[in-house]
């Protein structure tokens, strides 16, 4: 560092007295410059830190919420079938129960939600009135602007074009084994015979035919058996979509009945509904069109509709495709494998014959290639 290179002539004759030798103060100059660079870097880091703090403090709040104050909670959730841009990241209102310390609060969702502990950065003041009954009336009387009429809907979706807004969810499960907070609904005729299909199952499970007849069933109306009447945990809705059991409903009658069902659910503050594939079994309508009706009519209501597609005559655990790796003695999943392991099969080690679907002692092989 800073050492001057000596040439042979310098060693032979020496340096003339008084001449400046280049590089004598190189080391001290280098140290001075490095100190200056370090000082400037420290100054720039401190300035950047101050700017970041000022920017953060502009949007920060002091978090001084008192018990009893109503607040919003930042809780973004992704809902399938709906764009993240259309989903709200805030939910509420919540009520501040206690202030644990300067930055942590215990809040509870109104009216009887479960208390939870959150940081004040996830809270925002709620300036609304929280009149739930008034909100229900507004939702019931004034549907959102731009709602499609039946004619407009059929012009868009009669050819099977899908409408998906995250309202419906199909699952292969038993309709009658759904959680107790889900109400049930299905289609019936005005004569209430219910002699075939899932209507017969509803008739045997819930009965109450006299109560249903007292409600004067007509096409387009929704009949209801409340939980108190049947001494069970949930209500059951009967959608009258045709006059006689041997008749077939139309898309118009199904549309009118679903509109009536939507109004009934909103008036009773019901947010979860479980249904079969209504009007698409014995009634013969296209399920793709019916599902699009549900999506369009219920998209602004916040009601979740679970469509149960369980078929009791079909074993859901049956495996029909042979495991490729089991036949080459390389499957490590054992009994947990998703594909069939045939007991007693001879092990085949020729992978190319499996890929071509060659015949073995057990018959033709249906290879499963991952």
Catalytic residues: 242, 283
Q: Is the dihedral of CA 287, 288, 290, 295 positive or negative?
A: positive
3-state secondary structure 80-121: CCCCHHHCCCEEEEEEEEEECCCCEEEEEECCCCCCEEEEHH
Q: How many alpha carbons lie under 13 Å from residue 168 in its C-beta half-sphere?
A: 23
Between CA 69 and CA 48 the distance in angstroms is 37
Contact 105, 94 (CB under 8 A): no
CA dihedral 154, 158, 159, 163 (to 10 degrees): 80
Q: Name the nearest CA neighbour of 190 among 285, 257, 252.
A: 257
Q: What are phi and psi of 333, to 5 degrees?
A: -85, -20
In this structure, which long-range contacts are made by residues 132-137, counting pairs with CB atoms below 8 Å and at least 24 apart in sequence? 132/269, 136/266, 136/267, 136/269
Q: Name the nearest CA neighbour of 348 among 319, 321, 320, 325.
A: 325
């Amino acid at each position: 560092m800073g050492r001057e290179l000596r040439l042979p002539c310098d060693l032979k004759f020496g340096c003339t007295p008084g001449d400046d030798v280049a590089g004598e103060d190189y080391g001290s100059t280098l140290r001075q410059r490095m100190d200056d660079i370090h000082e400037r870097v420290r100054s720039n880091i401190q300035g950047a830190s101050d700017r970041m703090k000022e920017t953060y403090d502009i949007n920060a709040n002091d978090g001084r919420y008192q018990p009893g104050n109503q607040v919003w909670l930042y809780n973004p959730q992704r809902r399938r079938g709906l764009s993240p841009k259309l989903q709200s990241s805030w939910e509420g209102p919540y009520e501040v129960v206690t202030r644990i310390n300067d930055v942590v609060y215990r809040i509870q969702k109104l009216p009887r939600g479960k208390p939870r502990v959150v940081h004040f950065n996830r809270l925002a003041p709620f300036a609304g009135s929280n009149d739930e009954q008034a909100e229900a009336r507004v939702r019931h009387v004034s549907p959102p602007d731009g709602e499609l009429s039946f004619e407009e809907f059929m012009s868009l979706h009669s050819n099977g074009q899908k409408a998906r807004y995250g309202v419906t969810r199909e699952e292969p499960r038993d309709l009658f084994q759904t959680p107790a907070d889900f109400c049930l609904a299905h289609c019936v005729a005005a004569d209430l015979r219910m002699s075939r299909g899932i209507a017969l199952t509803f008739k045997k499970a819930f009965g109450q035919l006299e109560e249903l007849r007292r409600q004067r069933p007509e096409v387009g109306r929704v009949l209801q058996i409340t939980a108190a009447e049947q001494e069970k945990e949930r209500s059951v809705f009967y959608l009258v979509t045709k006059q006689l059991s041997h008749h077939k409903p139309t898309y118009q009658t199904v549309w009118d009945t679903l509109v009536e069902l939507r109004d009934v659910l909103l008036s009773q503050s019901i947010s979860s509904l479980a249904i079969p594939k209504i009007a698409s079994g014995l009634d013969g309508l296209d399920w793709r069109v019916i599902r699009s009706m549900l999506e369009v009519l219920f998209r602004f209501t916040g009601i979740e509709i679970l469509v149960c597609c369980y078929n009791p005559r079909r074993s859901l655990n049956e495996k029909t495709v042979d495991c490729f790796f089991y036949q080459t003695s390389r499957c490590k999943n054992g009994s947990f494998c998703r594909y069939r392991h045939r007991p007693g099969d001879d092990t085949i080690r020729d992978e190319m014959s499996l890929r071509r679907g060659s015949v073995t002692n057990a018959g033709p092989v249906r290879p499963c290639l991952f």
